[in-house]
Amino acid sequence: MRYFRILIFSTIVTFSNGNSTFETNCLGCHIANQQLFVFMQRYTLKYSSETNIKNVMIEFLKNPQIENSIMPRGFLDRFGVKEKTNLDEKFLREAIDEYYVKYNIKNYIK
């Protein structure tokens, strides 16, 4: 019951403070903008299309494994593999959509 109360409180705070799902759930750990650009660059080089990139990211965040990471082994040895997301499908997609818009290389090449 205590966990449920904490979850409800967290949800209320998340929606009342005006932060997006991405800001609330991703930027706490990924505070370095450069790091987020590098992730997007690696996803873009490997998966090309917006649909492929988003789908692969969602699958990775639901079930993070070394085998399906885009990061080099040295990075994973240093920082480890991300923990499985606790976001439901709707909020996970919102966060990925916002990440894609903010950090997509195509938006910075004119």
Q: How far is CA 23 from CA 17, 20, 92, 106, in A?
A: 11, 5, 12, 21
| Cα 49 from Cα 52, distance rounded (Å) | 5
Residues 10-24 pLDDT 10s: 444 444 456 888 878
**Number of DSSP helices (H) and strands (E) in the chain, helices first:** 6, 0
Listed as ranges, residues in the chain with pLDDT below 70 are: 1-18, 32-33, 108, 110
